[in-house]
Amino acid sequence: KAGVTQTPRYLIKTRGQQVTLSCSPISGHRSVSWYQQTPGQGLQFLFEYFSETQRNKGNFPGRFSGRQFSNSRSEMNVSTLELGDSALYLCASSLSFQPRSTDTQYFGPGTRLTVL
Residues that bind another protein (CB under 8 A): 4, 6, 31, 33, 42-43, 45, 48, 50, 55-56, 58, 90, 92, 94, 97-110, 112
Phi, psi of 83 (to 5 degrees): -55, -35
3-state helix, strand, coil in the chain (%, to 5): 5, 50, 45
Comparison of 13 and 107: residue with beta carbon closer to another protein: 107
Q: How far is the CB of 95 from another protein (least distance, A)?
A: 9
Neighbouring C-beta atoms of residue 32, cutoff 10 Å: 29
Q: How far is the CB of 66 from another protein (least distance, A)?
A: 14
Comparison of 55 and 63: residue with beta carbon closer to another protein: 55
C-beta separation of 21 from 89 below 8 A: yes
Comparison of 31 and 115: residue with beta carbon closer to another protein: 31
